[in-house]
Structure 1
Amino acid sequence: MLELLDDIGIFWRGVVLGVIIAAPVGPIGLLCIRRSLERGLSTGLATGLGAAIADAAFSAVAAFGITAVLDMITGNMRLLQVLGGTFLLAVAVHSLMREPRPLAAEPVAGNLTAATFTGFFLTATNPVTILGMSAIVIGFGNTRGPAEDGTLVAGIFAGSLLWWVVLCGGVTLLRRRVTGRTVHWINIGTGVVLGLLGIYTLGAAWVG
């Protein structure tokens, strides 16, 4: 009974860590907001799901102490920065070139597989996210074995996904109050932020 209660405590600790990891507004958050407005809740959630899968995967690497994988990531940091920066710039250009148009009365969901992949790829190729996530898990995990590590990772996945459900759900509820002009500025803001992040990431790869 005590072990079960301990596992429950570890799971909820993971949920809190998952929310902490996912909550800061970044490229994934901006994409989830935009896609929830333009393509509906399912597309926004698919993007968040991809990010949550990446969060869980790298949390598992940190929690289980898979040093070979961590060494591989740090050893290929420049490649990850180039891939991530290039992808960010591509998404930024797409956002900036979108023609302003009013929201459809009923959104038509986009390609959910592509949306999930985008969320996963942007998270998985962001070195800052990877290293920050590893530091959080290693610093605050404090588990004692594989079973507890697995419970913690499950909690992190649940917490990350919970955040995207709340964010995308909230945006969807407010959708009818959003005008086409607002969406236009959201697209511009998303493009600018993603572009700056892409340039910064490529610059870090060049300098590093």
Structure 2
Amino acid sequence: MLENYLVRGLLIGIVFGVPAGAVGILSVQRVLSQGAAAGLVTGIGSSVADVFYACIGVFGITIISDFLLKNQHIICMLGCMLVILLGIQCFRKKKVEKPASVSHKKQEDRHQPGTIRYLISCFLSSFAIAITNPATILSFMVVFSMFRIGGNESIGEDIQLVLGIFCGTCFWWLLIAVVVSHIRDRVTDGFYLKLNRIFGILMVLFGAGIGVRAFMV
């Protein structure tokens, strides 16, 4: 049944998409600094990258998978530099940018092109981090075997599987956006700056880990 594959996709997305690593930290930090929308869009960028790799596994696009896995050390190094750069940027951030502390006029301008460009940058940065991990393909292959997905499914079943994975991963990012946004107003400016330093250090460590893994490939 097609519905069965949609459910499988949802389960895979929920299990596989547990927020962790640099994108999870980045999403929480952006909810605190810019609001729920920024954190949600950050997570969706990662979900789109996951769906890209899921499609490669589901539809058996071996040309792309072989190329990515063959060059994953170079791709991972790009991800390493990006994560470390974002971590340093977060650590050095001294100005509190929480929406609750900006003027009413700026709050009225939240739908202006500048804000839209920021949301796009949130999406692209998290997408870039997630897409520079080609080993995700192998992870999906393992998960697919656990859920008895053998590559003999119809196009309709494959599409619903991918759609379910996307929705399942987005569930976590929506949950983060809602939960963190509820406590955002309780975070003082001083504690917010401390969190930035903690988040920055963690991201640098994650980036270093990506770099070490790239050399081990």
Q: Normalising to structure 1: TM-score of the pair?
A: 0.89
C-alpha contact (below 8 Å) 1:58/1:134 kept by paired residues: no
Question: Which range moves more in the overlay, 103-112 or 153-162?
Answer: 103-112
C-alpha contact (below 8 Å) 2:19/2:172 kept by paired residues: no
Match of 2:143 in 1: 136
C-alpha distance after superposition, 1:43-65 (max 9, x if no partner): 11111111111111110110111
Measured after TM superposition, the shift of residue 147 of structure 1 is 1.6
Match of 1:170 in 2: 179
Distance in 2 (CA, whole Å) between partners of 1:188 and 1:114 is 21
Find out whether 1:39 has 2:2 as its counterpart. Answer: no
Secondary structure of the corresponding residue to residue 174 of structure 1: helix
Q: 1:123 aligns with which of 112, 126, 130?
A: 130
Match of 2:121 in 1: 114
Find out whether 1:19 has 2:14 as its counterpart. Answer: yes
Distance in 2 (CA, whole Å) between partners of 1:104 and 1:54 is 28
Distance in 1 (CA, whole Å) between partners of 2:119 and 2:142 is 31
Distance in 1 (CA, whole Å) between partners of 2:136 and 2:22 is 11
C-alpha distance after superposition, 1:119-163 (max 9, x if no partner): 111110024444323422344251622221111000001111121
Aligned residues, how many? Answer: 203
C-alpha contact (below 8 Å) 1:103/1:179 kept by paired residues: no
Distance in 2 (CA, whole Å) between partners of 1:155 and 1:57 is 13
CA 19–83 in structure 1, closer or farther in 2 if over 3 Å, else same: same
**What are structure 1's unaligned runs of at least 5 residues?**
1-5
Find out whether 1:101 has 2:96 as its counterpart. Answer: yes
Distance in 1 (CA, whole Å) between partners of 2:184 and 2:216 is 42
Match of 1:65 in 2: 60
Match of 2:197 in 1: 188
Measured after TM superposition, the shift of residue 30 of structure 1 is 0.7
Identity of aligned residues (%): 27
Find out whether 1:198 has 2:193 as its counterpart. Answer: no
* Aligned residue type for 1:123: A
Distance in 2 (CA, whole Å) between partners of 1:72 and 1:96 is 35
